[in-house]
Homo-oligomer: A and B are copies of this chain.
Amino acid sequence: MDPRTHTVLIEIAAALLATEGPQALSTRRIAAEAGTSTMAVYTYFGGMSGLVREVVHEGFQRLERHLTAVRSTSDPVADMALLGRAYRMNALANPHLYSVMFGGASLSGFSLTDDDRQHGRYTLTSVVECVAKCVAAGRFADADVAHVAHQMWIATHGLVTLELGGYLAAPLDGEALFEPQLVALMVGAGDRPDAATRSVRSSRRRIERELSPQAG
C-alpha cells in the first residue's frame, strides 16, 4: 500500500473533474495519467465510486476551509455576506465538483451516502454561528437560528446552482442578484433594510480591498 499512489489518484481525479468535467473521469484515463493500471483504483478505493467519494470529501473539506477562513469583522451581518461570498466563489471556482457534491450529478452510478451528506451539513455550522451573532447583536429578530441559517444556505445554494446551470443570464446574472438576495433575506430575518444594505455593501468593499493587492 503506497500512500503516495493513493493521494496521486485522488489528485488526478480531482484535476480531471475540475478541468474536463465528470465524463472525463474513467478508471482507464486516471490509471493512464497516474502511470499505473486500472486495478489501482480498485485496490485503493474499491471502484470508481469510492474514488469519487474521496474527491467529494476533499471538496467538502475545501469548502469548510474557505468558510472558516472568513475573518469576522465588527459587523456580524457583513460577516454573513462574506460567508455567502466565500461559498459562492468556492462553488464557481469548482463548478463540476460542486455539482457532484450537491447536485447529485449521477456519474456512472455514483451516489452519496448519508455519511457523505453529513459532511455537507457541516457547511451549516459556520452559518449558524454567524446567525447567532447577528441575533446577539440585535440585528436579526430572535427567531429560530437554525431556520434562518438554512434560509441563507438554501438561497445561496439556489443562486449558485442556477448560475452554474446557465439559467441566470446577463444582465440579471448571479453577480447582480447576489447582494439584493442577501439583503432581502436579512430583512426577512429582522434586520432593517438600510442597515442590511450597508452591511452587504461594506462586505463587498472589503473583498475588493483584499483582492486588489493580489491583482496589482
Contacts and interface: CB of A to CB of B under 8 A. Distances in A.
Contact of A168 (B23, B150, B187): B150
A165 B102 contact: yes
Given A103-B104, A186-B188, A188-B188, A161 B157 contact: yes
A172 B146 contact: yes
Question: For the complex formed by this chain, how many copies does it contain in all?
Answer: 2
The 4 A-B pairs at the shortest CB distance, nearest first, are namely A158-B158, A184-B188, A188-B188, A154-B158
A94 interface: no
The A interface is mostly helix, strand or loop, or mixed, namely helix
A103 B164 CA distance: 9
A212 B186 CA distance: 36
A108 B25 CA distance: 12
A36 interface: no
Given A103-B104, A105-B105, A147-B180, 18 more contacts: A22-B106, A23-B109, A102-B167, A103-B165, A104-B105, A104-B165, A106-B106, A117-B165, A117-B166, A146-B172, A147-B177, A148-B184, A151-B184, A153-B162, A154-B159, A158-B158, A183-B188, A188-B188
24 contacts: A21-B106, A99-B103, A99-B106, A103-B105, A104-B105, A105-B106, A106-B106, A121-B167, A121-B169, A146-B172, A147-B172, A150-B168, A150-B181, A151-B155, A154-B155, A154-B159, A154-B162, A155-B158, A156-B158, A157-B158, A158-B159, A184-B188, A185-B185, A188-B188
Interface residues of A, number: 49
Given A104-B105, A106-B21, A188-B185, A157 B147 contact: no
A107 B104 contact: no
A72 B136 CA distance: 40
Interface in A176-207: 177, 180-181, 183-189
A103 B109 CA distance: 16
